[in-house]
A and B are shown apart, each in its own frame.
Chain A
Amino acid sequence: MNDQSIIQTFGLTRYFGGKCALDQVSFMVPRGCVFAMLGRNGSGKSTLIQMLTGLIEPTRGRAEIFGVDSSKLTPAVRGRIGYVPEGHPLPGFLRVRDLHAFQKSFYSTWNDKLFRAIIDHFSLGLTQRAGQLSRGQRAGLALALAMAPQPELLVMDDPSLGLDPVARRTLLEAMILNTRGSGNTTFFTSHELADVERVADHVAILDRSALRVCCSLETLRQRVKRLVITLNGTAPAELPHIPGLLQATRHGAELSLIVANITDDARRAIAGLSPNITEAPLTLEDAAIGYLSDRRQTFSLLDAVHTDAEAT
C-alpha cells in the first residue's frame, strides 16, 4: 500500500447477472489530486464508485480507501469521505434546514461558513424542501452537504449531470475551492470534458467496463496523436492493422487517424497508406472520444463509405 495513494483498486470486477459491468480494474488515485473518470453511460463508472464507497460488493477483486478495504469501511474512515451520489438524491421531504442540522451533527469538522456559502451560491432557501428544489439547486445542496464536513476525499458521481451553465460554473468553483486544503483529493466522473480539462489533473477512461487510461492529463495529450493522411488515388478497401489506432474517420480524400502510443510499427503501417502525413492538433475531447467511440463501428462505416464511392 502506497502512502501517497488515497484510492487503490486491485482487479476490481463486478457482474450484474452474467453481464460484466467492470472488468479487472486496477488503478490508484494519488493524494491531493483531482481525478476525473471518463466513460460512456453504462461503462461502469457508477458501479466503480459504489464499490469504492463500499455500497455494493465486488464480484472479484477489492478496493482500498485510505488503505482500508472498501467492504470494511469503519465509521471513522467514512467520516473522511464526502460522497455525492449520481443524480443528487436527498430525502425529499426534509427541508434544507433539517438536512443541515442532520448532516452537521455527524461531523466535528463541519464548516458552517462553507455550507452557507455554497447554499447561497445556488440561491437555496433554508425552508425549502429538498424534494421541491430544481435539479441545479438539489445538486448544490448535495454538494454543500458533502463538502461542508471538509472531507479528505470527495467522491462525486457525475455531479454536473443535468446542470445549467450557471450551476455548472458554481460546481466548478466549489471543486476548485476543495483543492484549497492541501492533500484534499477529489474523485469524480463526468461527461463535461471542458470541465475535466479545467479542474482535473489525472484522468482515467473506462471503455466498456475495462480501464484503458489512467494517467495525468499531460501524459494523455502527449501519448495520443492525430494524424491526417491525404490519400492519393483509390482508398484501400480496408485499413491495415495499425497498432494503437483509436479512431479513423474519412472526409473525402482525407483520412484522419487518432492513434495512441505511436510506435514505429504504427508509423510504418500508416506510411504504407500514403506518404502524405501531417500531425494535426488534438483536443482533449478528441482524445477522449477516440477512446470512447466504438472502434469496430468506425471501420464498418469506413467500408460503407468506400463501397458507396465505388458504386457511383
Chain B
Amino acid sequence: MMRAFIVKELRENARWALLGAGVLSAWLAISLYSQRDGLSLVASDFQLAMLAGFLISGAALGLAQILTDTRRGRWGFIANRPLSAGRIFVAKLLAGLGLYYAATTIALLVITLLAMNTRFVRAPFSASMLVPAIYYQLAGVVGLTIGLLIGSRRAAWIGSRVFPCIAGVMVLGAALYVAIYFSEAVAITLAGAGLIALAAKAYFSHNGQYEPQRPWIKPLQVIIVGAGAAAVIALAVNVSTEVLQTLSGAAPGYRMDQYVLDRNGNAFRYRVTDRNTMEYADLPGNLLSEAESERVQRELMPLAYVPLADPSDSNVPRGYRQHYGDVFTVSDRYLRPMIAPHRPAVLNSDGTAWTYVSARRRLEGINIDGDFVGSIGLDGFHPPGEDARPITGKVLPGWDRQWLTTSDTVYRFNQARRTLETLYEVSPPERIIGAWQFEKNSPPSAPGDIGTEDARAFSGPRTDYLAVLTPGKLNVRGHDGTSFAVDVPNDPQIMASIGGGVDGRFYLKMSRYEGSVHRTDVRVLDARGQLISRIEYPPQPIVLPPWGLAQLPMSLAIPPVAYLIPRSEERAGVMQLQHIIAAVAAFVTTICLIIWVCLRYGFERSATITWSVLGALFGITALLTLWCVRLRPARVKCPSCGRRRVVTRQRCEHCDAEFPAPVQPDIEIFDQPLRAA
C-alpha cells in the first residue's frame, strides 16, 4: 500500500522534479561560469550557490508534496484509506527523497560535464572536487524536510509558519561549523533532517488523523518553532536597537578594541563600534582625524596571524584545531580528510595547474585540456611515464597554494622551474607544527612591492619572510638572510601575529584576555631575534556600552537562563542597575503574560506550569513560542454569566454553566432515542 502511495507521489510530482532539475542546472551552470577564483567546483562562491540551490529545491519539493494533497477537499480523498497518516507521510518522504536525488543528480551531472570541459571552465577538474557538491546535495535533504514540516504545520503564512526555517539553518550551521570531518558533517545533517522529519510527521498525522505520538515529539516541535521565535526576537532586538540608537543620537559604543601597528611600528587603538563603524585613536584615546585614520589604515604593518598552539597537543581545544591553517571554505575542510591536501593548485602562468596528490606524495600537473603534463617531487620535474621522488614527512594541512609544509620541511613550489625549493628544514626529533609567510614591512610608496590585487590572486601572496612554529619556538627566515628564533608559549588563548622587516626590526604582537582586561604587548626584535624593547599597551577594560535607551530591547530580550550560565566575573560585574531593573521587569512581565495566556485560553494546569517554567528560563522567546505553538481556542460570550469563555470547554470557566443546547422543542422531530448522553 505504501508502494502504491510512493508510485502516486512519483507520478504526480515527477514533473516538478524535472522542472526543478532544469532550473537548478541552469542556476548552477551560471554560478559555475561566473565564479572568479579559477577553482571550478570548489570555488567558495560556487559552493554558496550550490547550498542555496539545493536547499531551495528541496524545500520547494517538500512544500509541493504536502500542499497539493492537504488542500481543502483533496485531503479527504487522500486521508480516508486504510493507511495511517503517519505512513502516508513516510511514503511522501521516501518519494520526495527519490525525486530530490533524481533531480539534483541530473543537475550535478550537468555541472560535472561542464566542469570537465575546459572551454567552459578554465580550470582543471578532479573527481574529488565533487565531494563538497555531494555534501551540499545532502544538505538539501534538510530543505526537503523543512518544506514537508512547513507544509504540514497549520499556522498563518505571514506568521509563525515559516519559523521552522531557522531549525534548518541551525542544523546546517552545526554541520558546517562544528563538524571538522566529512563524516561528522554527514552525520549531523542526517540526524537533523531525521528529527525535523519526525516533527513534520507528527504535524502531518495531526492534520486529520490523530495518531498517538511519542512523548518527546511535542518538545521537539516546540524547539523547532521556538528556534524561529528566538531568531525573530533577535532580529527585532537588532532592528529596534539600531533605530533607538539613531533616534537617541548617543555616542556609539564599541564591539571590539584592539591595537594595530603601522609600518613604522607605532601603535594605534582600533575600534569597531556597535554601529559597525571603525575608529582609530592614539594610545591616550584621542580620535584620529579622518586623514590620519586613512593613512594608518593604508599603512598597516602586514602581520601574519600565528596560532601558537600545537594542534597535536590534546590539551588544545577542538575549536583551535579547527581554525588551524587558513580554513576559509567548506570545501577545504571536507576535502582534506577525504583526499588529504589533494586540492587544485593555483593555475600556473603557462596554463598548467598543479595539485598535491597524497596517494603518490608528489605534485601533479595538468594542462588546460586536462592532459597530464608530469609530476614534481623532491628531485624536480618528471614528464609522464617517469616518477618523481616522493615527498617525505607528514604533510600538514592548511598551507597556501604554492606552499607545501611537511612535519620536517617547508617547500615552495617554483612554478617557473617546476621544482620544489626547500625553505626551511628541521631534523628529527624536531618537528614543524605550522608555517606562515609575511611580507616585508617596506614603506608603502616603494614601487613594485605589493603588486596588483589580480597578480596576487594569481600567484599567491608575496613572501618575504617565513615564520615556522616548532614546539615552543617561532623561527623566522627571510630572503634577506634574516634567521632567528624566539621562544613562544604553547597557549591557544594568545592571539599572536608577527610582522616587520624594515630596519631589521620585527614585531611580535601578543594579546590575551586577563581578568577584566584585554592585554596587548608587542616585542620589538632585531634581525637576530634579540629583544630590543617590549612595549606594553594600556590594558583595555571590557565594559558594556553605557546605559541608554538603545540597550533596552536587548535587556528585555535576554533569556533569563543566560544569566545562569557562569561567565567571567568581569562581564557579570559591569552589569548596570538599569539593565538589571529592565531585565527583572521583563522577566516578571513575561511570566505574568504567560500565565494570563494560559488562563485566558483555558490550558491545562500542567501546560500552564510547563510554560511558566519555560518563560522563567527563556523569557520573551518562550512567550512568543507559546503564542505560535499552541492553538488558542476562540472565546465567546457565556450566555449564563456574560463573560467570555473558551469554546472548547464543556463548562464555563467562570460560572461553571454548560452551553445551552440549541433546542426548539416545538419544531424538532426525532424518531430515535433522542440526544443520547
Question: Does chain A touch chain B in the assembled complex, meaning CB atoms less than 8 Å apart?
Answer: yes
B76 A53 Cβ-Cβ under 8 A: yes
Do residues B670 and A213 form an inter-chain contact, with CB atoms below 8 A?
yes
Q: Mark A19-46, 1 if CB is under 8 A from B, else 0.
A: 1100110111000000000000000000
Assembly CA distance A102 to B672 (angstroms): 40
Residues on A with C-beta less than 8 A from B659 are 13, 23-24, 60
Answer whether A8 and B676 are a contact pair too, CB < 8 Å, given A89-B73, A209-B662. yes
Interface string of B46-89 (1 = CB under 8 A from A): 00000000000000000000001101111111011111100000
CB pair B662–A24 under 8 Å, yes or no, is: yes
Q: Which of A23, A83, A86 lies in contact with B80, CB distance below 8 A?
A: A83
Q: Smallest Cβ distance from A22 to chain B, in angstroms? A: 10
Docked complex Cα distance between A89 and B670 (Å): 34
Main secondary structure of the interface of B (DSSP, over half): loop
Q: Report chain A residues within 8 Å CB of B210.
A: 54, 57, 71-72
Please give, as numbers and ranges, the residues of chain B lying within 8 Å of A89 by CB-CB distance: 71-74, 76-77
Whether A78 lies near B12 (C-beta < 8 A) is: no
Q: Are B669 and A78 in contact (CB under 8 A)?
A: no
Of B12, B647, B662, B675, which contacts A60 at CB under 8 A?
B647
CB distance from A3 to the nearest CB of B (A): 13
How far does the alpha carbon of A153 sit from the alpha carbon of B69 in the complex, in Å? 23
Once the chains are docked, how many angstroms separate the CA of A93 from the CA of B19?
15
Establish whether residues A214 and B672, one from each chain, have CB atoms under 8 Å apart when the complex forms.
yes
Q: Does B567 contact A (CB under 8 A)?
A: no
Q: Are B666 and A81 in contact (CB under 8 A)?
A: no
Say whether A10 contacts B676, CB under 8 Å: yes
User: Could you mark each residue 64-108 of chain A with 1 if its beta carbon is under 8 Å from any beta carbon of chain B, else 0?
Assistant: 000000011111101101110111011101100010011101110
Q: Name the residue of chain A whose CB is nearest to the CB of B8.
A: A102
Interface pair A260/B636, CB less than 8 Å apart:
no
**B247 within 8 Å of A (CB atoms):** no
CB distance A94 to B12 under 8 Å? yes
Q: Complex Cα distance A72/B69, Å?
A: 21
Q: Among the listed stretches A170-178, A186-194, A216-224, which one makes contact with chain B, having 4 or more residues with CB under 8 Å of it?
A: A216-224
Cross-chain contact of A215 among B11, B74, B634, B669 (Cβ < 8 A): B669
CA distance A216 to B672 in the complex (A): 9
User: Is the C-beta of B564 less than 8 angstroms from some C-beta in chain A?
Assistant: no
Closest A residue to B209 by CB, please name it.
A54
- Contact between B667 and A23 (Cβ–Cβ < 8 Å)? no
- Number of B residues contacting the other chain (C-beta, 8 Å)? 51
Q: Check if B7 sits within 8 Å of A60, measured CB to CB.
A: no
Q: Is the CB of B7 within 8 A of A102?
A: yes
Q: Which residue of A lies closest to B68 (CB)?
A: A91
B666 touching A244 by the CB < 8 A rule? yes
Measured in the bound complex, the distance between the Cα atoms of B7 and A76 in whole Å is 22
Q: A15 to B73, Cβ gap below 8 A?
A: no
Shortest B76–chain A CB gap in Å is 3
Query: How far does the alpha carbon of A74 sit from the alpha carbon of B668 in the complex, in Å?
Result: 35
**Residue from the list B634, B664, B669 in contact with A223, Cβ < 8 A:** B669
The answer to whether B208 touches A56, judged by C-beta atoms less than 8 angstroms apart, is yes
A91 and B8 in contact, given A50-B76, A81-B80 (Cβ under 8 angstroms): yes
Distance from A145 Cβ to chain B, minimum over Cβ atoms (Å):
8
**Secondary structure class of chain A's binding surface, majority of residues:** mixed
Whether A142 touches B11, Cβ cut-off 8 Å, given contacts A54-B210, A102-B4, A106-B83, is no
- Whether A220 and B669, one on each chain, are in contact in the complex, defined by CB atoms closer than 8 angstroms, is yes
Q: Are A28 and B672 neighbours in the complex by a CB distance under 8 Å?
A: yes
B648 contacts A by Cβ under 8 Å: yes
Contact of A85 among B68, B76, B648 (CB under 8 A): B76
Chain A 224-242, CB within 8 Å of chain B: the 1/0 string? 1000000000000000000
Query: What is the CB-to-nearest-CB distance from B136 to chain A, in angstroms, rounded to a whole number?
Result: 30
A261: Cβ under 8 A from any B Cβ: yes
User: Out of A57, A83, A86, A212, which one reaches B668, CB within 8 Å?
Assistant: A212
Contact between A76 and B82 (Cβ–Cβ < 8 Å)? yes
User: Is A165 at the interface (CB under 8 A from chain B)?
Assistant: no
**Residue in A closest to B82 when the chains form the complex, CB atoms:** A79
Minimal beta-carbon separation of A203 from chain B (angstroms): 10
- B359 is an interface residue with CB less than 8 A from chain A: no
Chain B nearest Cβ from A81, distance in angstroms: 6
Taking a contact as CB atoms under 8 Å apart, the answer to whether B73 and A85 are in contact is yes
User: Once the chains bind, are B82 and A78 in contact (CB under 8 Å)?
Assistant: yes
Q: Which residues of chain B (66-125) have a CB below 8 Å from chain A?
A: 68-69, 71-77, 79-84
Q: Give the CA-CA distance A243 to B636 in the complex, in Å.
A: 30
- B668 contact set on A, CB distance < 8 A: 212-213, 260-261
| Interfacial chain A residues near B77, Cβ < 8 Å | 83, 85, 89-91, 142, 145
Please give me the 10 A-B residue pairs with the lowest Cβ-Cβ distance, nearest first: A79-B82, A85-B76, A89-B73, A105-B4, A210-B662, A215-B671, A83-B80, A244-B666, A75-B82, A243-B666
Identify 9 residue pairs between A and B in the complex whose beta-carbon atoms are under 8 Å apart, listed by A's number.
Answer: A82-B80, A91-B68, A91-B69, A98-B11, A101-B4, A106-B83, A214-B671, A219-B671, A224-B669
* Additional pairs, 14, CB under 8 Å, beyond known A74-B84, A83-B76, A214-B670: A15-B634, A18-B636, A23-B659, A55-B79, A75-B81, A78-B80, A83-B77, A86-B73, A89-B73, A98-B11, A106-B1, A245-B666, A246-B667, A260-B669
